[in-house]
Amino acid sequence: MITKDTLTEAADRIARVPRAHFIDGAFTTAGGDAGTIALINPANEASLGTIPSGTPAHVDAAVAAARRALPGWAGRTPADRAEVLHALADVVDANVDLLAAIEAINGGKPLAAASDEIPVVSDSLRFMAGAARTAQAPAAGQYAEGHLSYVRREPVGVVGAITPWNYPLMMAAWKIAPVLAAGNTMVLKPSQLTPLTTLVLMELAADILPAGVLNVVLGTGSIVGDAMSHHPGIDMMALTGSVRSGQSVAEAAAATVKRVHLELGGKAPVVIFDDADLDSAVETLAVAGYVNAGQECGAATRVICHEDVHDEFVAKLVRAAEALTIGDPAEGESIELGPVISAAQRDRIAAMVDRARRDGAKVLTGGQVPDRAGYFYPPTVITDVAAGSEMAREEVFGPVISVERFTTESEAIAKANDVVYGLAASVWTADPGRMLRAVEQLDFGTVWANSHLAVATEMPWVGFGHSGYGRDNGTYALDDYTRTKHVMLAMGAARD
Ligand code: NAD
């Protein structure tokens, strides 16, 4: 549990954490920088200091270290690598509250939400540590006359990974765990807005990971991210972020024919049929739509509701939204909704809601930037959203739930699928047949029935369409960071 004392300890740690790249097993600021980047607590706009803005020279140094470390790390047995990842998970578990408190301060996250994220980090490390030891392949055998075939699963090489600000350490772990478990080495660039937990992880990992296995370069996407994507010494790029950033990475990576792993944005529809348990749906959506201030790629932000239960559902949702306690997470566990990450993000959300209003949508609650310090936006419910409009189709990435109506099952599915994204969706009904039909027809990488936003480390998290195609979690992630080599041994004829 995060107490006032933990928050004080976290503030102290933030002041002391090295503001430097982590290359070849040590923090360094050698090689100059492209200026500094300011870090800000979004709940009160207080300065959290600065970080150096890295350059292509830092990427060169990090890649060189990762390449040097590759043969040693790839050559270890999966069990040896697993021990290292378990040791890393142990130090994360020993620092759960501290890491969660730093995440809360740097990202404006309510304490309970931040506390839920860190155990996922260690769980991911432990799962991948074990999964790498059980990797499956076809049985060795004679598939061509006189030849024995078998498959070697090998690491891809040096992986470049780029993470977003909405779940900084959790998204880093979803890369670090499978990448390292599979025997790759890596260069990681955290979001320039939320690098602090990644830096603390490197402090904790310095004595655990061999030098060069995991390197961190701080900086912007346009300089450091771009240099990584173009770098001939990086074999594969993995990014969790916006569609635009994913497209940039894929374009740049094409020049050196790198493998690319993309986890991008979403606009998750929530289809509510007339037989749905509305209380259960509202209770879930008040969390799944507003958690992390709606800055969640699978957020339940777009409800498509049967016309017969529309008004009742909307009334319940508005009550639930208005019951949320908003404030600076540092005020304690009672705060359920914190600020969004930046002034720019808040203004983007406000502008989208204003455009929806102009398009004829009705804002039933929220919809106004409050007059207070911090980048707050209230939980908002919007109805009468025109099908095909920006609010119906584009990711808001804020605490805004929009509601559309439908009459027939096929209309509901068509509306739900009318987005370029394909990350996540949910369907709410008591009819098992309708549930199975909807699950089959919804064009999204995760589909929940009578639930939303539950995630399991063992199961894949993957998008379709513009949400990308990289698979996080499960043995699927491990496969994505491995290459398969077919070995054929000529057996010759028996010498009788
Ligand atoms: P963003 O794309 O702005 O930034 C993500 C990362 O990409 C940052 O580290 C950034 O510096 C870097 N970046 C930006 N431009 C780049 C470029 N040209 N080349 C290389 N790197 C570049 O995203 P964000 O605002 O930090 O995060 C929010 C977005 O992430 C949302 O769209 C959200 O849906 C998505 N997201 C997706 C998932 C998922 O699992 N699919 C999870 C979390 C967030």
pLDDT tens for each residue of 295-304? 999 999 999 9
Q: Classify each residue of 75-94 as buried b or exposed e, where b means 16 or more C-beta atoms within 10 Å of its C-beta.
A: eeebeebbebbebbbebbbe
Nearest-atom index, ligand 1, CA of 167 = 43
Minimal-distance CA residue to ligand 1 atom 14: 221
Q: Find the DSSP H helices in 132-190.
A: 168-181
Q: Is the pTM of this model over 0.95?
A: yes
Q: Which two tokens stand for residue 44?
A: 């009160």
Nearest-atom index, ligand 1, CA of 244 = 2
Closest CA to 242 of 443, 421, 54, 474: 421
Q: Which CATH architecture has domain 269-449?
A: 3-Layer(aba) Sandwich (3.40)
Kindly report, residue by residue over 93-144, the tens digit of the pLDDT.
999 999 999 999 999 999 999 999 999 999 999 999 999 999 778 899 999 9
Q: Is 305 a catalytic residue?
A: no
Kindly report, residue by residue over 243-254, the tens digit of the pLDDT.
999 999 999 999
Q: Where in the chain is the domain with CATH 3.40.309.10?
A: 269-449
Question: Is residue 237 within 8 Å of 258, Cβ to Cβ?
Answer: yes
pLDDT of residue 161: 99
Q: How many A from CA of 459 to the centre of ligand 1? A: 22
CATH class name, domain 4-264+467-485:
alpha beta
CA-CA distance, 300 to 290, in Å (whole number)?
8
pLDDT of residue 494: 80
Say which amino acid occupies 256. T
Can you spell out the DSSP letters for 5-18? HHHHHHHHHHHHS-
Biggest alpha carbon–alpha carbon distance for the chain: 92
Q: Where in the chain is the domain with CATH 3.40.605.10?
A: 4-264+467-485
Q: Cα 470 vs. chain centroid, distance in angstroms?
A: 11
Q: How many A from CA of 239 to the centre of ligand 1? A: 7
**Nearby residues of 53 by Cβ (< 8 Å), 6 or more positions away:** 33, 34, 35, 36, 37, 192, 218, 219, 220, 223, 224
H or E element, residue 51: strand 46-52
Closest CA to 125 of 85, 72, 154, 165: 85
List the chain residues with pLDDT less than 70: none
